[in-house]
Amino acid sequence: MTLARAEIVVDLAAIRHNVRTLQQTTGVEVIVVVKADGYGHGMAQVAGAARAAGATWLAVATPDEALALRAVGDTGRLLCWLTVPGEPYADAIAAGIDLTAYSVAELDEIAAAAESVEHPVGNPVGHPDGHLARVQLKVDTGLSRGGAPREAWAELFARARAGEEAGHWLITGVWSHLACSDEPEHPANDHQEQAFRDALSLADEAGLRPGLRHLANSAAAILRPSARFDAVRCGIASYGLDPAPGHTPDLGLVPAMTVRARLALVKTLAAGDSVSYGHTWTAQAPTTVGLVPAGYGEGVPRHASGVASVGVAGIQRPIRGRVCMDQFLVDLGPEDDSTPHAGDEVLLLGPGRHGEPTAQDWAEACDTISYEIVTRIGGRMTRTHVDSDTEKTHDTASQDESR
């Protein structure tokens, strides 16, 4: 078996396991969020695994991401929610993608596009009547990010209902997003859930019958049963990472991503030798260091300099000095018979089963969240998908062509 210089290995069996676990835990539809290249795990492959686990719905941020999923053959329900004026809505409508509207201006654009789509060709999931778009409405319940502010709800719902009657679209969902779901005791959670219920009542009064009402992301899906409604939108938990460290019960989620590399060089340092740019670390005693051929060009955070660790031969070893663009150094301790050699494996992160740090460990060391760690990993690394259920090995796994 030959290891790559530096690589990402994603276990699709872990994704399937996590999606099924979330379905069982929540008892509602789990919309698996695969935006940003599946949080760095590979959007197409994660989508396939999620569908295999029974996910009826997937979600992405942009229409481009949704169309990319259609292009690789995904035919299921697909939601997107981040558009800019002038977005080519017609393509998304023709592809049967559920668009999200935040405003009346957006609805007007979607209406014009819907009229231009007479008979969607190759539309696997759109409405059989032809030009009907599928639209969900997003209300801002307190995040103050996307979505219609409360004072605009009535007008948005009235326009949405009028467009339904005019045959422009079907309103398939109403939804919102929480600001503090990873802090279950935060009062904003109650406020936002109540505001969401207010919005649903108003939508109902406007004559809308959205089939999919959803509010919760991973943390709320797990920690707040009252926020589950018809569906939950799970990103991070689908990848096996903890959405609310310190609060989440152990559901047995399995991190799907492993990042590993081969030591490029091992060398001995004398006491007083300093390491990497700026000489921010100096050996107090003789030691050996290993050169890891991955750096911030691969998404290894420069903030990890001197604070994060990597797994070498089952032991966590500290990163010394600054992380560079292409490489960094790991302290392997005083030289002895067990000192690793050039070519040996280094586990940057993984599920933690072989003594390696997790994405959560990196996040804590770098003062960020695991989302950012896995989403930014990449660069020149190769990415391979394996399936531990079918014991498909690393060597036979297909290389991801998209990287």
Ligand X SMILES: *Cc1c(COP(=O)(O)O)cnc(C)c1O
Q: Which residue in 259, 262, 252, 261 sits closest to 350, CA to CA?
A: 259
Q: Is the dihedral of CA 109, 115, 118, 124 positive or negative?
A: positive
CA distances from 31 to 57, 182, 212, 344 (A): 5, 18, 10, 40
Query: Which one, 82 or 397, has the nearer CB to ligand X?
Result: 82
One-letter amino acid for residue 362 of the chain: W
Q: What is the nearest approach in angstroms of ligand X to the Cβ of residue 379?
A: 22
Q: What is the nearest approach in angstroms of ligand X to the Cβ of residue 282?
A: 40
Position 317 contacts ligand X (CB under 6 A): no
Tokens representing residue 191 in the block: 């406020």
Q: Which of residues 45-84 bind ligand X (CB under 6 A)?
A: 81
Q: Which of residues 159-188 bind ligand X (CB under 6 A)?
A: 177
Q: Which of residues 81-120 bind ligand X (CB under 6 A)?
A: 81
Residue count at the site for ligand X (CB under 6 A)?
12
Site string for ligand X, 119-158 (x = CB under 6 A): ----------------------------------------
Cα end-to-end distance, the chain, whole Å: 22
Question: Which residue is closest to ligand X by CB?
Answer: 235
Site string for ligand X, 233-252 (x = CB under 6 A): xxxxx-----x---------
Question: Residue 92 in 3-state DSSP?
Answer: helix
Spatial distance between the Cα atoms of 244 and 218, rounded to a whole number of angstroms: 9
Query: Which one, 329 or 349, has the nearer CB to ligand X?
Result: 349
Q: Which of residues 6-45 bind ligand X (CB under 6 A)?
A: 33, 35
216-250 burial code (b ≥16 CB/10 A, e <16): bbbbbbbbbeebbbbbbbbbbbbbbbbbbeeebee
Q: Which residue in 329, 322, 320 sits closest to 261, CA to CA?
A: 329
Q: Which of residues 321-350 bind ligand X (CB under 6 A)?
A: none
Q: From 103-111, 125-133, 230-238, 293-301, give the range in contact with ligand X by CB under 6 A.
A: 230-238
Out of 35, 89, 102, 296, pick the active-site residue: 35
Burial (CB count <10 Å: 0-12, 13-18, 19+), residue 71: exposed
35 is catalytic: yes
Phi, psi of 385 (to 5 degrees): -110, 130
Of 21, 218, 276, 309, the one binding ligand X (CB under 6 A) is 218
Q: From 193-201, 202-210, 231-239, 327-335, give the range in contact with ligand X by CB under 6 A.
A: 231-239
Query: Which one, 114 or 237, has the nearer CB to ligand X?
Result: 237
Spatial distance between the Cα atoms of 366 and 325, rounded to a whole number of angstroms: 17
Spatial distance between the Cα atoms of 275 and 341, rounded to a whole number of angstroms: 19
Q: From 89-97, 185-193, 227-235, 320-328, give the range in contact with ligand X by CB under 6 A.
A: 227-235
| Cα 25 from chain centre | 19
Query: Which one, 34 or 329, has the nearer CB to ligand X?
Result: 34
Over its C-alpha atoms, the chain yields an Rg (Å, rounded) of 24
Query: Which one, 189 or 287, has the nearer CB to ligand X?
Result: 189
Of 217, 248, 287, 384, the one binding ligand X (CB under 6 A) is 217
296 is catalytic: no
- Residues involved in catalysis: 35, 277
Site of interaction with ligand X (CB under 6 A)? 33, 35, 81, 177, 217-218, 233-237, 243
